[in-house]
Chains A and B, each alone.
Chain A
Amino acid sequence: MTRSPVVPDWSVPAPTATSTALPDPDPTWTSPALFGDDERTRRHERNLLALIVIALAVAAVLLGAPVPIRALFSLPALVLVAGSAATPLVLGRPPTLDPGPAEATAGAHGDDAGVRWLLTVLLGLLSLLASVLVVAVLGFAINTTSVVLAIGVLAALLLAVGQLRDLDLAHAPVPSRAAARATLKARARGGIWVLTAGAVLVGAVLLAQSLRPVPTETYTVLRFTNATQFGPDPVSARPGQQMILEIAVQSYGYQLTAEAPTVAVSVAGQPARDVEVSFQPVLAHPAGVDPGDSAQLGAVAFDAPSKPGLYQVELRADALPQGADPTSLVTWLLVQS
């Protein structure tokens, strides 16, 4: 079988069938091997700029900058700088680009700008993971300061190692200033287009999200607030002793009315003797854990049975505004002489 001249040989690395890499390689880029003092200075400037970006991103986090700034600047900056610094450490300098078409070189060893960009993101993300793991292994608490300093230091270290090894950021061939301006212009155009497309999609997602009806739930929580009801020991009393059960009523999705709920107490299935019910005024928007829309604290006092034994005590809070199912609480009272 004769090999088609237009088809690559499987036994050797072959060019990918591409027309451009991401971003388009610029043939005016200078090979790192040919760096002069000027290029070297610009590389140092670029590393310095990266360090400044790290410092700004870290400062924004430590100073508690607003979430959008931290989400849109600090996180991407730290991830991309760390990734950009790590990529050349792993892959070495980018390939020297011949002035020919991209496909002649891009796939020659699987190393092109597109792969380097993607690897930058991947290694940047993994540096986030590594930072947290290192913080944990060293015994520091995982908090804002430790995490941001860890990722900042890691990114700076990667830059420093690259500098020492005479490597550069991921897209290292340093273009001439004119070429850099042209590249910047092209990238700015591309960036604007990507941002516009991103904004359109984000807008569509937000619109789709807003279409979803937000279900409103209306319910009531009735609970004991005495610590003894939640403690390990059973509730006990002497015969005839006055018992006080503290309760709370909390409303969700509606407001309790000023009128106190009607509370009935039964002991062993019989109405309790000398029941006194008292409620504090309704609190609108109370404080606390998941406090609901309104709350009312109350206490129910009644006399324990006169004979020793184990009694069921049921407390029914009827006439709650939403009381489709009159909510009740049940406890067991051990009467001992």
Chain B
Amino acid sequence: MQSQVDWTPLVSDPREPQPSWAKALLSRAGALPWPLLVAAAAVGVVLVGWSYRMSAAGAPAGGYYLTFWAGMLLAILPVSAKVAAPLTPRAQRIWGITLLGVLTAVPKYLRNPDQPLYHDEYAHWREAVDVLSTGQLLRPNALIPIVQFFPGTSAFTAAIERLTGLSVWHSGQLIVAVMHVLTLLAMFLLAEAHLRTSQAGAVAALVYAVNPSAVYFDTQYAYESVAMGLFAWVLALASLAGKASTRRHRVGFTVAALIAVAGCIVTHHLTTLFLLVVLGVVCVGITWRTRSRRRAARRAATEEAPAPMTSGIEGAVWWTVLAGTVVMAGLWLVFVASPTVSYLSPYFGGSVKQLATMAQTDGDSGGRKVLAATVQPLWERILTAGAPFVLGVFCLVGSYRLWLHRFPGPTATLALMTFGLIYFPSVPFVLAPSGAEGARRSWAFTYVGVALIVTLVALGRRPGRKPLVPPRWRTAVGMLLLAVLLIGNVGGGLNDPYRFPGPFRWGTDTNSASNEARTVARQLSAQAGTVRVVADGYTALQLVAYGGLEVAAPSTGFPAWELTQTPNDPPLELAKMLAGSEYDYLVVDIRMGEEAAFNGTNYGPGDPLEGQVTPMAYLTRLDHVPWASRVMATEHLRVYRLDLRRLGAVAQAGS
């Protein structure tokens, strides 16, 4: 009976006697002195800064990519070897993971240390600015309207800004950095609780630290970056509660988990959704397995039922956390954040539909091309493509071993691993335009399970059989695989303009940002107030963030792009919509008439000139139409005051 529930052969125990030579080698990684690790980290950080200097100066991509990765690997690998070594004390593992958290946050911090640059950062920064200037939460947000209903990030930022006197931006950076570090520490506790050794906890934290979102996406100033830490803590605390041996601690950890759930719910919708999914998977897994074992016991007509993999108490803990999450999320959804459903639903339906369409047409129907038009060096692209395969091998081996041992271990652990397997079917969704975003975002969550599986395989033993990797090579091979995952995942995360500074490049959220546009935003706001504006997607970021202006969100239903993307006056329907919504201004960056947008479109999905340069005549004609007056101009930007009544009359005549 007991053999069915025993999965101890899968996890090595560092307290077991090691061969002396292996012990010596392994202990070398564990004995790496801290001053050396910190010095390596410092040099690595400086190298990362140097790579940014190179890219900003327009150096060849191969050079700055190489410098960047030399810095990152120099900073990260020594401390990773230290925390993953078998004999490293637990306290030092915790310090090492803290250092690792700081180091993986550095590239994003250095990317834009003083002001927002990523799309979501503009929205959240503006939200925090508005909260602080009005003294009220839940301010309308022009860039990402749903941000209004999830005030966690702006509340954290406001608190830090008021307490410290730091700028809004640096206050936001601080909470994101702290949450990033806390996420890795939560992962450590979670894996330690499930896999029973602090080494397993450390390895899982390392694997999680190199997930595709960890280095750039989940370190940006946005609600997911903050909520991610709370998500990880809910799972860690629920795991600790499930394993607790006293009622006091079980209740305490459960209460702490529910407090973290509340923080997560008021901070980010998608993270809450993933939290519900993972809690649901665990709860259903526990219940299903307990019942099936009971049935099996009844069928066997044995009086002694097999020992349940997960006690009823552990199941009760997970169900309590799930129930609490459902209730709190439901209340928040009903009373505060009711538009969330309509905000999220198009992403799910749309991406599945697009993926199906692409499959039917051999993927040649508007799908995305991964790594297309990239300056990434070939070796990084190879590693980007290879990272999912490396994970796939780990998961296959892990699944095989679990199957071989008849799926031993606590059900909660297996359920978390099963949740991690969602990573693999989500990978193809990066090819679907509206699924890519969701797929990428899911990886930060599913990597929790992936990290557990990888750890299980990496530290697993094969009793009576020769180890796949000789112990003396384990550290080297482990660090090599970690480097492959790190480089591959970061390469598959965000594109070059997001990762590296560079000369002005039209059509990116990051390298299209200019002081010129910021000045226009502030001047227009000062002159005309918080007016409504039509603008391309890149200038819009500056107008909203720095001017507090309300910018149109063009779509096929509201094709505001027709003001600049066609040679004709807008149709009557659009004129009516513009007049009805009082879009009184149009801001044009004439650089859209000089080069095609790097991201493909000037106005987002549906732009009729996707992939093309806007003909300059389309832009200069605005100086000659009676419904537009150029009231402000710089070398590259033009602000037009729209006479909507005259526009309506012209459109009426045209129709």
Residues of A whose CB lies within 8 Å of any CB of B are: 1, 3-4, 6-8, 10-14, 16-24, 61, 64, 66-67, 70-71, 74-75, 78, 90-92, 102, 106-111, 114-115, 118-119, 121-123, 125-126, 128-129, 131-133, 136, 141-144, 147-148, 151, 193-194, 197, 200-201, 203-205, 207-213, 215, 217, 219-225, 229-230, 232, 234-235, 252, 288-290, 292, 310, 312, 314, 322, 324-325, 327-332
- For the complex, what is the distance from the CA of A208 to the CA of B526, rounded to whole Å? 36
Are B635 and A322 in contact, CB atoms less than 8 angstroms apart? yes
Are B629 and A332 in contact, CB atoms less than 8 angstroms apart? yes
Residues from chain B with a CB closer than 8 A to the CB of A10 are: 5-8, 196, 408-410
Residues from chain B with a CB closer than 8 A to the CB of A108 are: 245
Are A289 and B163 in contact, CB atoms less than 8 angstroms apart? no
Are B626 and A332 in contact, CB atoms less than 8 angstroms apart? yes
For A106, give the chain B residue with the smallest CB separation: B90
Are B38 and A201 in contact, CB atoms less than 8 angstroms apart? yes
For B546, give the chain A residue with the smallest CB separation: A290
B46 adjacent to chain A (CB < 8 Å): yes
Which one of A109, A147, A221, A329 contacts B519 once the chains associate, using CB atoms below 8 Å? A221
The A interface, classified by DSSP as helix, strand, loop or mixed, is mixed
A-B interface pairs (CB < 8 A), number: 327
Residues from chain A with a CB closer than 8 A to the CB of B527 are: 223, 225, 230
Nearest CB of chain B from residue A316's CB, rounded to whole Å: 10
Residues from chain B with a CB closer than 8 A to the CB of A223 are: 523, 527, 631-633, 639
Which one of A7, A71, A143, A200 contacts B165 once the chains associate, using CB atoms below 8 Å? A71
Which one of A75, A211, A235, A331 contacts B52 once the chains associate, using CB atoms below 8 Å? A211
For B628, give the chain A residue with the smallest CB separation: A330
Q: Which of B610-644 contact A (CB under 8 A)?
A: 623-624, 626, 628-636, 639, 641, 643
Residues of B whose CB lies within 8 Å of any CB of A are: 2-3, 5-8, 13-16, 34, 38-39, 41-43, 45-46, 48-50, 52-53, 56-57, 89-92, 94-95, 99, 102, 106, 109-110, 113, 131-132, 135-138, 151-152, 155-156, 158-160, 162-166, 175, 178-179, 182, 185-186, 189, 192-193, 196-199, 201, 233, 240-241, 243-246, 248-249, 252-253, 255-256, 259-260, 263, 266, 307, 408-410, 501, 514-516, 518-520, 522-523, 525-528, 584, 623-624, 626, 628-636, 639, 641, 643, 646
Which one of B49, B95, B635 contacts A212 once the chains associate, using CB atoms below 8 Å? B49
- For the complex, what is the distance from the CA of A314 to the CA of B629, rounded to whole Å? 10
A-B contacts, 29 listed (Cβ < 8 Å): A7-B13, A11-B307, A14-B196, A16-B197, A24-B91, A66-B165, A75-B163, A90-B252, A102-B90, A109-B246, A110-B249, A111-B249, A118-B182, A119-B256, A125-B178, A128-B160, A133-B151, A141-B135, A143-B135, A147-B158, A200-B39, A204-B46, A213-B56, A223-B527, A288-B526, A324-B635, A328-B633, A332-B626, A332-B629
- For the complex, what is the distance from the CA of A290 to the CA of B624, rounded to whole Å? 30
Nearest CB of chain A from residue B176's CB, rounded to whole Å: 12
Are A204 and B45 in contact, CB atoms less than 8 angstroms apart? yes
Nearest CB of chain B from residue A144's CB, rounded to whole Å: 5
For A66, give the chain B residue with the smallest CB separation: B165
Are A123 and B256 in contact, CB atoms less than 8 angstroms apart? yes
Are B42 and A201 in contact, CB atoms less than 8 angstroms apart? yes
Are B94 and A22 in contact, CB atoms less than 8 angstroms apart? yes
- For the complex, what is the distance from the CA of A16 to the CA of B197, rounded to whole Å? 5
Residues from chain A with a CB closer than 8 A to the CB of B243 are: 13, 109-110
- For the complex, what is the distance from the CA of A330 to the CA of B178, rounded to whole Å? 51
Are A91 and B249 in contact, CB atoms less than 8 angstroms apart? yes
Nearest CB of chain A from residue B245's CB, rounded to whole Å: 4
Residues from chain A with a CB closer than 8 A to the CB of B639 are: 223
Are B39 and A122 in contact, CB atoms less than 8 angstroms apart? no
Q: Given A128-B160, A328-B630, check contact A213 B57 (CB 8 Å).
A: yes
The 9 closest A-B pairs by CB, nearest first: A208-B49, A141-B135, A18-B90, A1-B3, A204-B42, A110-B240, A132-B155, A223-B632, A17-B197
Which one of A125, A141, A194, A322 contacts B136 once the chains associate, using CB atoms below 8 Å? A141
Nearest CB of chain A from residue B32's CB, rounded to whole Å: 14
Nearest CB of chain B from residue A334's CB, rounded to whole Å: 9
- For the complex, what is the distance from the CA of A291 to the CA of B241, rounded to whole Å? 58
Which one of B42, B193, B584 contacts A200 once the chains associate, using CB atoms below 8 Å? B42
- For the complex, what is the distance from the CA of A30 to the CA of B182, rounded to whole Å? 30
Residues from chain B with a CB closer than 8 A to the CB of A288 are: 526
Which one of B56, B182, B185, B631 contacts A229 once the chains associate, using CB atoms below 8 Å? B631
